[in-house]
Every structure is written in structure tokens, then in C-alpha cells.
Amino acid sequence: MSLPALTGSPKQITWAESIRANILPTLVRDLDQATEVARPKAELALRFAQRQTASAWWIDHRAWADLDRVSPMVTREGQASALVAKAAYRAHQDGAETAEGIAEGIGGYTVDAVRYAVDRHTVAGAEVRDVFGI
């Protein structure tokens, strides 16, 4: 799996590479073990994580590696969809006015995947929810 280079200070990059090396295999395993219903969510979580290039993002989300110990109520898919909802909000703030434009602004997500995330998380904001008809 070819991953994008990380950005940040040398110390951040070293730490983030270690975190990413722990998290991505877990997400791949989750995808391999996902049921047909859960598979799209697992793919969303993995694709989203693979695209992250900021060392600070990996450091801030390092708890993904320990989710089973953090809380059984928190899931990787839930965190990933919350991040997609936040990204939808930012894409809308950057000028995307349609569901397709927001999905394109996030990069590589289908309108349905973004709609799912926006529907689950109020962080996307009322304006974005309106764009998706939610």
C-alpha cells in the first residue's frame, strides 16, 4: 500500500508514521472482516485514514489504535464518518453548494457516503444537511 508522505516537523512525522503503522493494519483487518452491511463503512474509514497527510492529524487521532480499550461505544467507522461530516462542512464553507460539489470537495467520496456521514453527525451543520435533503 503506497501512502502519501506526511507533513510536519521531523519529530511529528516520526511519531505520526509510528501511529499510522499501527492504525492502518487494524483498519484493513476491519475491512477484511466486515459484513456486507458494514463493508461500505469500513471502506470509508480506511480510505479516509489513508488520505491523511498531516502528522498532527495522526497524532490527534492516535486513540484509533486503542479503541477497544478506550470505549466499546466508540467505533472507527463512527470517528471516520464524523471526520467526513466535518470535511463536508469545510467544503461547503469553501463554496461547494451541491451534494456532488461537497463530495468532490472532500475528494473521492460518493454522494451517498457523504450523505451517510452528514446524516449521522450534526457537526456538518444545518446548511450542509439542507444541501443533502436531511
Alpha helices in the chain (DSSP H): 10-33, 39-50, 55-60, 67-70, 76-93, 99-106, 111-120, 126-131
Handedness of CA 128, 57, 77, 4 (dihedral sign): positive
- 3-state class of 134 per DSSP? coil
pLDDT at 78: 65
Structural domains of the chain, count: 2
* pLDDT bucket at 98, cuts 50 / 70 / 90: confident
Q: Looking at the structure, do residues 83 and 120 belong to the same domain, yes or no? A: yes
Q: Looking at the structure, do residues 67 and 83 belong to the same domain, yes or no? A: no
Q: Provide mean pLDDT across the span 55-84.
A: 63
Nearest to 83 by CA among 91, 72, 71: 91
Q: Which residues, at least 6 apart from 79, have a Cβ–Cβ distance to it below 8 Å?
A: 45, 61, 64
pTM for the complete prediction?
Answer: 0.52
Chosen domain end from 20, 47, 71: 71
pLDDT one-digit tens code per residue, 6-64:
999 999 999 999 988 888 887 888 778 777 777 777 787 788 888 889 998 888 877 66
Range of the domain at 60: 10-71
